């Protein structure tokens, strides 16, 4: 016989938080009227450690956390077998005294192509402006943050790790520290190897036409997993090489036969963090902390990308930390809180 009881079920189903997670909804002017018609209303999560209220008397550092491609905000509650969620891991770190108090902000930059790479694009929308100008200002006005770039950090994995490298280079006035877990970098290693398979799938199943692919994708419920490579290729292209004539559309750096289109590929390379670094040396030198890591067995060779970016930092005389660990691109959530701690220690007022 069973009976209903009050309160949460507890571990492993639901671990009560020691701190607080504010689940907000915001309306963005920067995303209004975006070319894809994606929502300008977005969820925004703000974590406060135990004992930190909105009227906290002491200004605190803030760390902004961004997601990988196809990530949307509610996925932070996803649980792997026998593991805490990201929110639970973060809460345990702060509750255990392993990190000074900080405000941690989880930002959603999902698009109907899967992601935004956290940059402005005429084919997806103004996602860097949303993050740097709107979300940061909103948080500083409503939470006890130290409203200064030296006390603000950005962290992410995969496409989020890409954003964590690129956004501080472009907007060092907003972020003064970064942590990148297996961020997209060294584009010839992480992107080029995928394209022959994409071109073949496009040829064999969709008559070499992206329009045919998207029509099939919209009609498929659930989406077929083997089509994800195509969606990723087009989604990245919408960010790096948007079609200047057709907003919302992209120029692909390869044709249906798999042949590289050099001028479009050059547009992609201009967005490679490895190649961007020299032109943004002063911004990188201004960072109070740069933390990089990746699994040695990363399926997209983003360990090589992390190494290449670190090598550029070495050339520029930029202090940083690079950690390569035994692992792949998957199941890296356990590494996120430690990187956030690294940033908080560096940017605490």
- 315 shares a domain with 204: no
Number of domains in the chain: 2
Q: Are 63 and 168 part of one and the same domain?
A: yes
Final residue of a structural domain among 269, 288, 311: 269
Instruction: Read off the pLDDT of residues 322-339 as tens digits, 9 standing for 90 and up.
Output: 999 999 999 999 999 999
The answer to pTM > 0.75 is yes
**Residue 132 is assigned to a structural domain of this protein:** yes
- Same domain for 155 and 297, yes or no, is yes
Q: Which residues of the chain have pLDDT under 50?
A: none
> Which residues on adjacent β-strands are paired with residue 47?
21, 104
The answer to the question of residue 11 being in a domain is: no
Q: Do 128 and 36 fall into the same domain?
A: yes
| Whole-angstrom distance, CA of residue 90 vs CA of residue 147 | 22
What's the confidence (pLDDT) of residue 341? 98
Question: Do 152 and 77 share a structural domain?
Answer: yes
Residue 127: partners with Cβ closer than 8 Å, 6 or more residues away:
30, 31, 109, 111, 116, 117, 118, 119, 120, 121
Query: What is the reported pLDDT for 120?
Result: 98
- pLDDT of the residue at 227: 84
Q: Which of 145, 184, 138, 189 is nearest to 161 (CA)?
A: 184
- Shared-domain flag, residues 236 and 166: no
**Domain end: 250, 269, 288, which one?**
269
35 is a domain residue: yes
* Cα–Cα dist 276/60, whole Å: 31
Residue 264 lies in a domain: yes
Q: Residues 166, 48: one domain?
A: yes
Identify whether residues 233 and 298 lie together within a single domain. no
Residue 30 falls inside a structural domain:
yes
Question: What was the pLDDT predicted at 10?
Answer: 87
Q: Is residue 1 part of a domain?
A: no
Chosen domain end from 269, 290, 317: 269
Give pLDDT tens digits for 74-93: 999 999 999 999 999 999 99
CA pair distance 234, 244, nearest whole angstrom:
15
Domain CATH for 79: 3.40.50.1820
Examine the domain organization and report whether 24 and 147 are in the same domain.
Answer: yes
Instruction: Give the pLDDT score at 98.
Output: 87
In the numeric block, the tokens 């309306």 are attached to: 27
- Shared domain for 26 and 53, answered yes or no, is yes
What is the residue range of 46's domain? 20-186+273-347
Verify that 36 and 64 share a domain, yes or no: yes
Tokens of 315: 């050339």
Q: Do residues 35 and 135 share a domain?
A: yes
In a domain? residue 13: no
Q: Is residue 7 part of a domain?
A: no
Helix axes 228-240 and 262-269, enclosed angle (nearest 10): 80
């Amino acid at each position: 016989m069973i009976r209903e009881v009050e309160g949460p079920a507890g571990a492993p189903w639901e671990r009560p938080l020691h701190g607080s997670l504010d689940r907000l909804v915001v309306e963005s002017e920067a995303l209004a009227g975006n070319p894809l018609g994606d929502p300008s209303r977005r969820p925004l999560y703000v974590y406060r450690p135990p004992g930190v209220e909105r009227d906290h008397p002491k200004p605190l550092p803030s760390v902004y956390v961004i997601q990988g491609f196809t990530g949307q905000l509610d996925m932070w509650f996803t649980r792997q077998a026998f593991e805490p969620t990201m929110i639970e891991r973060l809460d345990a770190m702060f509750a255990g005294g392993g990190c000074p108090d900080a405000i941690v902000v989880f930002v959603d930059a999902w698009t109907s192509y899967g992601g935004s790479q956290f940059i402005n694009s005429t084919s997806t929308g103004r996602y860097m402006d949303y993050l740097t100008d709107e979300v940061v200002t909103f948080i500083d006005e409503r939470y006890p943050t130290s409203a200064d770039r030296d006390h603000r950090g950005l962290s992410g994995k995969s496409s989020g790790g890409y954003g964590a490298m690129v956004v501080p280079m472009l907007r060092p006035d907003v972020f003064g520290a970064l942590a990148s877990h297996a961020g997209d970098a060294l584009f010839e290693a992480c992107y080029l190897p995928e394209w022959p398979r994409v071109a073949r799938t496009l040829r064999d199943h969709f008559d070499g036409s992206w329009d045919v692919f998207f029509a099939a994708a919209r009609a498929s419920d659930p989406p077929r997993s083997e089509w994800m490579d195509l969606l990723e290729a087009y989604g990245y292209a919408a960010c790096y090489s948007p079609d200047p004539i057709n907003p919302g559309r992209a120029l692909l750096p390869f044709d249906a036969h798999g042949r590289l289109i050099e001028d479009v590929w050059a547009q992609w390379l201009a967005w490679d963090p490895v190649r961007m670094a020299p032109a943004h040396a002063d911004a990188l030198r201004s960072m109070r902390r740069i933390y990089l890591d990746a699994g040695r067995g990363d399926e997209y060779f983003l360990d090589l990308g992390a190494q290449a970016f670190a090598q550029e930092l070495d050339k520029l005389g930029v202090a940083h930390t690079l950690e390569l660990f035994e692992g792949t691109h998957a199941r890296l959530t356990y590494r996120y809180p430690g990187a956030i701690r690294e940033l908080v220690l560096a940017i605490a007022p």
